[in-house]
Amino acid sequence: MSKEKEVTIYDIADKLNISIATVSRALKDDPVVNKKTKKKIFELAEELGYRSNHFARNLRIQRTDTIGVIVPRLNSYFMSTVIAGIENVANSEGYNLIISQSSESAEKEKMSAKTMFNSRVDGLLISLSYDTNDLSHFEQFSKRKIPVIFFDRCEENHSFSNVLIDNKNAAYEATKHMIEQGCKKIVHITASLKRNVYVDRFNGYRRALAENNIDFKDEYLIIGNLSLEAGTEAADTILKMDPLPDGVLVANDNCAIGCMLSLKQAGIRIPEDIAFVGFNNDPVSKVIEPNLTTINYPGYEMGEVAARNLINHLNGTHSIHSTNTIVLRSELIIRASSQRLSK
């Protein structure tokens, strides 16, 4: 089956017996063309199925009005709120998004970065995968002076900017809260310590223990992929501990809830036997019983801030490197899952 010929401005000009320049100006909504002629051109363009050749236009102006976004997972409440924040700012400024997920794979992340580069995105926003070891696949962007901003999962690099929260302090406050509730044997469930997010939370947890003269035990560090299933597996590990821990700090709410549900099924009382604190303030944290104490992580704001800084740079408002790291506020939201003293 032969492909139907693409309608061009030449076809429109020929049918209306007017100049190509007039058609071109009308389609750009140039006020030089009178309204009556413009109306005829728009109506015929729609009737014929004319499509503007954005690709050719983009090549001329060296800009696509497109921003690339690479995230580890799309099925994450936190990431979906970040994307919503990015989209809100991008759309209001006339930019479109190309969104890709790495599925926590460095190889897929490299492929996505290559696709974004070949798609000529004007800028790139990215949250790194668990196992990304280097940033060499982003060097092509730097060489072409295409701005890159990391959010949430970042890596220190003078070429790129970061948007994140103070994960170390957030985990410190969460751990300190459990210690104030009488916890002394606190397990930390987290993900790969290659990533800044998780190593910073681990360091905040260790700092709170040290300041309260509580020794850190290697067996109290459980590393997984922070899924609901990983929470169930962590619960199995916890149930084999003797003595049982009296507190658990989890690096996200989803995994915390998987762990809580399994422990409750095994007869563990929360928070009387084991107190729980999560991360992200997912909506599900207010559904689980008892409600989960968590760190409020401003995902939507993070997306807005990252997109705004990128677009300001693209529009020439300010240099993207004028602020290399932007730290957003987070807060500990105390709910029933950690309130042992009130029980």
Domain membership of residue 37 (yes or no) is: yes
Helices (H), the chain: 9-16, 20-27, 35-48, 54-61, 77-92, 106-118, 139-143, 167-180, 196-211, 228-239, 253-265, 299-314
Where residue 307 sits, what CATH number does that domain have?
Answer: 3.40.50.2300
Prediction pTM value? 0.81
Q: What is the pLDDT of residue 11?
A: 87
Q: Mean pLDDT over residues 125-151, rounded?
A: 92
pLDDT one-digit tens code per residue, 182-222:
999 999 999 999 899 999 999 999 999 999 999 999 999 99
Dihedral, 34, 37, 38, 44 alpha carbons, nearest 10: 180
Phi, psi of 187 (to 5 degrees): -85, 145
- 30 pLDDT band, cuts 50/70/90, is confident
CA distance 71 to 58: 26
Cβ neighbours around 222 below 10 Å, total: 20
> Which is more confident, 97 or 51?
97
Nearest to 217 by CA among 182, 245, 181: 245
* 276 shares a domain with 158: no
pLDDT one-digit tens code per residue, 309-327:
999 999 877 666 555 899 9
CA distance 104 to 129: 4
* 270 shares a domain with 209: yes
Domain membership of residue 42 (yes or no) is: yes
* 214 shares a domain with 304: no
Nearest to 163 by CA among 150, 178, 175: 150
Domain membership of residue 223 (yes or no) is: yes
Domain membership of residue 343 (yes or no) is: no
- Averaged confidence pLDDT in the chain: 91
SS3 126: strand
Q: What is the pLDDT of residue 50?
A: 78
Looking at the predicted structure, is the pLDDT value of residue 284 above 90? yes
Domain membership of residue 2 (yes or no) is: no
CA distance 189 to 187: 7
Nearest to 76 by CA among 22, 130, 25, 16: 130
Q: Quick one: 296 exposed, middle or buried, by C-beta within 10 A (0-12, 13-18, 19+)? A: middle
Q: What is the pLDDT of residue 131?
A: 87
Q: Structural domain of residue 21, as residue ranges?
A: 9-52
Helices (H), 139-223: 139-143, 167-180, 196-211
* 225 shares a domain with 134: no
Domain membership of residue 3 (yes or no) is: no
Nearest to 260 by CA among 221, 291, 283, 281: 291
Q: Mean pLDDT over residues 128-136, rounded?
A: 91
Structure tokens at 71: 């995230």
Radius of gyration of the chain (CA): 26
Nearest to 147 by CA among 312, 1, 292, 261: 312
Nearest to 126 by CA among 92, 159, 170, 171: 159
Domain membership of residue 59 (yes or no) is: no
* 277 shares a domain with 184: yes
* 259 shares a domain with 200: yes
Number of domains in the chain: 3
Nearest to 308 by CA among 289, 328, 290: 328
Domain membership of residue 208 (yes or no) is: yes
- 59 pLDDT band, cuts 50/70/90, is very low
